Structure 1
Amino acid sequence: MKVGRNICFLTGTLNAMAGAERMTATVANALAELGHTVTILSLFDAGSCFALHPSIHHEALFAQRPSFKRAYLATVAGIRRHCLVRNIDVLVQVDTMLALFVLPATIGLGMQHIAWEHCHFDQDLGKAARRGARRLAARWCDQVVVLTERDRQRWIEALRPRSEVVCIPNPLPFPMPAIPAPRLGKQVLAMGRLVAAKGFDVLLRAWQRVSTQVPEWELVIHGEGEERDALTALVDQLGLGGRVRLPGIAHDATLAYAQASAFCLSSRYEGFGLVLIEAMAFGLPIVSTDCETGPRELLTPGQDALVVPTDDADALANALLRVIRQPEEASRLGAEARQKAKAFALDQVGRRWDALVSAPSEAPGTRGTPPSRPAT
C-alpha cells in the first residue's frame, strides 16, 4: 500500500487571481486527493482566491506583504519552523526566486526540494535576482519543474544543472467539459492579466479592423491589471465603444468559455499559456501569437489553431476574420484542439506530480547534499 508524503507548497500568496497561484491550488488539491498530506505556506496573506481540498492546511508567515529585505531572516526562520513542525518530506517552491529563502531555511533537514518555474527561461520579469535564483535552484534543488520541453532544453543548455530538470505541463484546472461550447453567438474571447506582456493593445488595434468588416461581433477581454486605464483609453481612441468589453476577472471561467465562439491569445511572451488549454477543452477555434515557449509547443498551426507573429495587428486581424468568416474551418480547428486538450486533464498531470513526489528516498544522509554532475 502506497504511503503518502508530507508535502509543502511554498508560495508568495494564494490571494491573487493569477496563473501560478491557480496552479498551486490545483496541483496541491490533486496530491491531497491522492492521499498525500499537503500544506500550503504563503509568505503573506492567509486568504485564498481558490478552493482548497478540506485536508489541506494553509497558513501565512505574515498578514500583509512585508519588506523582504528587512524581514529576510524572519522569513527564513518561518519557513524552517514550518518544515520542522509539519515534518515536511517534500518542499515545492512555486517560484524559483524563493530559492533565496528556501536554501538557507532547509539546510540539514534532509527533504526533497523541488523548484517550480512558471516563467520561461529568457524572462526575468524585471527582477535581475531571478537569474541568480535560477542558478541556485539548478545547482541545489533535487528537481526543477518547467512547463514546456523547450524550456527544459534552455535550462539544460544555459545552466548545465546538477538538478534534474523535469517537464510537467500545467493541467486543465477544471474537469474536461462534457460537450464543447455551442458557439452560437458572435463573441471572441480573450483572457489574462491586463499587462503589456499580454498584447491586448495589439488585439484592440486588430479588432478595429475586424469590427469594421463584421460589426455585429463583440470582443470580450476578461482580466484585471495595471494596463486597464490605458486599454480603456485605447478603446475610446479607436472608436470601439460598444464593440469591446473589459468586464474584469471571470470568476467562473468555464461560463466565459461556454459563451464564446472563438478565442484569441495576443501575448508578446508566455510561460505556458494555460488559457489556451482551457479554450481548447471547450472546442473553441483559437487564434494565437507565436510565442516561443507556450503557444509554439502547445499548438500546431493550421491543424488546431491559426498562429501569427507577435506584435502584428494586421496578421491578427486577418486570422480573426478567417475564423469568423469560415465556420467550417473554425469548427475543424476547434474539434482538433479539444482532442489535444484531453492530454492535459488533471488526472493525467496529477499522476506525473504524484510520481515525482513519491520517488524512493535516497540513501540516508544524501538529501540536502548537491547531487554530483552527470558524466559527459
Structure 2
Amino acid sequence: MTQAKPRLCFVTGTLNALAGAERMTATIANALAEQGYTVTILSLWDPASCFALNPAIRHETLFVQCPSFKRAYMATVAGIRRHLKKHRIDILVQVDTMLSLFALPAALGLGVRHIAWEHCHFDEDLGRRARRWARRLAARYCTHVVVLTERDRKRWLEALSPRSSVVYIPNPLPFALPAQPAPRTTKTVLAVGRLVHTKGFDVLLNAWALVTQRMPDWELIIVGEGEERHVLEALRDRLGLGTNVMLPGALSDITKAYEQASIFCLSSRYEGFGLVLIEAMAFGLPIVSTACETGPRELLVDKRDAIMVAIDDHLALANALLDLISNRAEADKLARAAGEKAKLFSRERIVQAWGALLR
C-alpha cells in the first residue's frame, strides 16, 4: 500500500515582494503541488502574491498589512496554530529561520515536523539580533535546517553543533533551462537585484563611470526596485551617466532582460546564495562577480566560469568588465562554462532533493 504524501505548509512573511526567498517559495511549492503534495502557503501579511501559484495551492494570510510583531506576537502564534489544525498539516516549512520564533510554539503538541529554510548565511543577521536566537531554536528543535550552500552547512555545524539535521539544498532555476543561450549581440551589461546597500550598486556605478571612459557606447541596465533608488539615481546623474545607465525597476518576467544582455555583473557586498547568478548562467552570460563569502564563492570559480573581484573595489570591478568587453574569446569561454554549470540547478534536480527530505 502506497504511503500518503505528507500535507505541507510553507509559512512566510509575504509573497508580495519580488525577492529571492519569495520567488523560491512559489517555485518549490508549485513543483511539489505538481507532484501530488497537498500544499498550503501561509503568509503572515498581505494576501497578494507577485508569483503565480498552482491552482491546487491554498494561499492564506493572517494580517492584511505587516503588523508590529511585538504587539501581535500571540495573535501570530495563534493564527499559525489555527492554520495547522484546520489543514491537518504534517510538515511546516519556515521560509526564514526567524519564523521559528512563531512556528515552534504554534505547533506544540500537534505532532508537526518542522523544516527551517535559511536564505541568509549564518554570519549575517540582516540587522536583526533576534535572528541569532531564532537560529539556535531552529538548530535545537527543527527536524531539518535547509541551507543554500555547503559552506553555510559547515558553518552551522561548526557554530551550533545542532540537534537538527542541517541539509544543503541549493535554490533551483525558477524557470526552465532556455533552449538557446542569449545571442550576446548587444552592448549591454546587466545587473539584477533589490536597490539596497548590500547589493553594491553604488560600487557598480562608480565602476561604470570608468568603463564608459573607454567604452562610451556600452550601457548598464540595473533591474530591481528598492529603498535606495533615489540615492542611486542621484549618484548616476552626479557621475554623468544619465544616458547609459538605465534603472527600469522590477520586472515580472526577468528572462527578457537576460536574453538581451551580453555580460552579467553582480556587485554585492553580501549574498546568501545569489539566485541571479544561476539565472545569468542559464542564459550563457559571462559573469563578473564580487567574491562574497557564501553564494558567489561557492557557485563560481574564478577565471573558469566567471571573473571574481574583491568586495567594494570599484576599480577592480571596472577592469574586469573592460576585460570581458574587449576580449570576446575570454567572454565566450566563460559563457560556455557558465551554461554547463547552470544545468546543475535545474528545477527537476532540486525538487528531487526536496522530495527526498520530505520522505
TM range (shorter): over 0.9
Q: How far is the alpha carbon of 1:2 from its aligned partner?
A: 5.5
Matched, 1:303 2:313: no
- 1:276-295 paired onto structure 2 within 5 Å: 276-295=277-296
Residue equivalent to 1:111: 112
State the alpha-carbon separation in 2 of the partners of residues 230 and 183 from structure 1: 30
State the alpha-carbon separation in 2 of the partners of residues 217 and 2 from structure 1: 58
State the alpha-carbon separation in 2 of the partners of residues 351 and 54 from structure 1: 21
Residue equivalent to 2:214: 213
State the alpha-carbon separation in 1 of the partners of residues 66 and 184 from structure 2: 43
| Higher RCO by CA contacts (8 Å cutoff, separation 6 or greater) | 1
Matched, 1:166 2:135: no
Deviations 1:125-148 (A, max 9, x none): 110100010000000000000000
- 1:145-164 paired onto structure 2 within 5 Å: 145-164=146-165
Residue equivalent to 1:138: 139
Deviations 1:205-247 (A, max 9, x none): 0000001100000000000111101100000111111010101
Deviations 1:279-319 (A, max 9, x none): 00000000000000000000011010000000001100010
Q: How far is the alpha carbon of 1:260 from its aligned partner?
A: 0.2
Residue equivalent to 1:365: none
Residue equivalent to 2:33: 32
State the alpha-carbon separation in 2 of the partners of residues 287 and 251 from structure 1: 24
Matched, 1:312 2:303: no
The TM-score normalised by the length of structure 2 is 0.99
- In structure 2, runs of 5+ residues without a counterpart are none
Deviations 1:95-138 (A, max 9, x none): 10011101110111112100000001111011010001000000
Matched, 1:225 2:226: yes
Residue equivalent to 1:81: 82
Amino acid at match of 2:204: L
Amino acid at match of 2:81: R
Amino acid at match of 1:303: R
Matched, 1:97 2:98: yes
The TM-score normalised by the length of structure 1 is 0.94
Amino acid at match of 2:327: Q
Residue equivalent to 2:255: 254
Residue equivalent to 1:120: 121
Residue equivalent to 1:333: 334
What is the Cα-based RMSD across aligned positions, in Å? 0.7
State the alpha-carbon separation in 2 of the partners of residues 4 and 182 from structure 1: 43
Amino acid at match of 1:157: E
SS in 2 for 1:42: strand
Residue equivalent to 2:63: 62
- In structure 1, runs of 5+ residues without a counterpart are 359-376
SS in 2 for 1:201: helix
Q: Are the structure 2 counterparts of residues 183 and 157 from structure 1 closer, same or farther at C-alpha, using a change threshold of 3 Å?
A: same
Amino acid at match of 1:17: L
Deviations 1:20-52 (A, max 9, x none): 000000000011111100000000111100000
Q: How many residues align?
A: 358
Residue equivalent to 2:45: 44
State the alpha-carbon separation in 2 of the partners of residues 338 and 354 from structure 1: 26
SS in 2 for 1:83: helix
Q: How far is the alpha carbon of 1:4 from its aligned partner?
A: 1.9
- 1:164-243 paired onto structure 2 within 5 Å: 164-243=165-244
State the alpha-carbon separation in 2 of the partners of residues 280 and 347 from structure 1: 17
SS in 1 for 2:11: strand
